[in-house]
Amino acid sequence: MKFNSLDLAGPMEIELSRFSDDRGYFVETFREMKFFEEAGEYRFVQDNQSLSTRCGTVRGIHFQTHPFAQGKLVSCLAGSVFDVAVDLRADSPNYGKWAGVTLSAVKGNQLWIPPGFGHGFCTLEPDTVVSYKVTAYYSKADDLGVAWDDPDIAITWPAVADATSLSPKDRAQPALAALPPLFSLKD
Ligand SMILES: Cc1cn([C@H]2C[C@H](O)[C@@H](COP(=O)(O)OP(=O)(O)O[C@H]3O[C@H](C)C(=O)[C@H](O)[C@H]3O)O2)c(=O)[nH]c1=O
């Protein structure tokens, strides 16, 4: 899944190798050297986890601005989500475009989202747990967002997406058109 595989380092779906036996399974969820080869030499400084109890919960579209811009390696530990990245690099030909992929505990896949992209998801099952590694510390003052239902981005959310589940913060996120240039391909 790429915005443009020609020359832009966009989001990338990562398939994990799962070793199953009659006890269950074992999987390496992160191996730095492999990640560096696949995605680049990004180092993670913080792990996050969220539980969404209701199907149709939408969280996002979020990002942190420089100097706390975050790359995110997103996994779904329980349940499943439709996970979305939005290109916010002002000089990108894909500015404002989005890409989405279903992440699930069963599929055992991940989504790498580089800095410069907004991130959001919609849960597809109750009691969905999302875990993600980030490349910069949380900075409340730099934690911004864009409206999940912005018509200029026009994300095709799953039918279960339910606006009633939005946090007060996400109900008030600005439109893409209101955002200043925040990121660049040159970052
Ligand atoms: C992100 C974050 C939040 N918090 C505190 C701040 C709030 O008091 C509380 C809930 O935060 P928020 O409502 O922003 O949580 P989400 O709506 O799940 O936001 C996250 O979900 C979307 C999809 C993302 O990609 C972001 O990483 C992140 O913004 O946790 C922290 O203490 N540290 C953190 O790193």
Domain ranges of the chain: 2-170
Cα 136 to ligand 1 centre (Å): 13
Q: How far is it, in rounded angstroms, from Cα 152 to Cα 8?
A: 21
Q: What rounded mean pLDDT belongs to the chain? A: 93
Residue owning the nearest CA to atom 3 of ligand 1: 138
- ipTM over the 0.85 cut-off: yes
| Active-site option among 62, 95, 119, 137 | 62
Rounded to whole angstroms, what are the CA distances from 17 to 2, 42, 82, 114? 21, 21, 21, 22
For the residues of 25-44, what is the DSSP string, one character each?
A: EEE----HHHHHHHH-S---
pLDDT of residue 6: 36
Cα 133 to ligand 1 centre (Å): 13
132 CA: nearest ligand 1 atom: 27
Cα 14 to ligand 1 centre (Å): 23
Whole-prediction pTM: 0.95
Domain with residues 2-170, CATH architecture: Sandwich (2.60)
Q: Does ligand 1 lie within 6 Å of residue 60's CB atom? A: yes
119-175 pLDDT, tens digit each: 999 999 999 999 999 999 999 999 999 999 999 999 999 999 888 889 999 999 999
Burial class (CB in 10 A: 0-12, 13-18, 19+), 119: buried
Residue owning the nearest CA to atom 25 of ligand 1: 119
Residue owning the nearest CA to atom 4 of ligand 1: 138
pLDDT above 80 (res 8): no
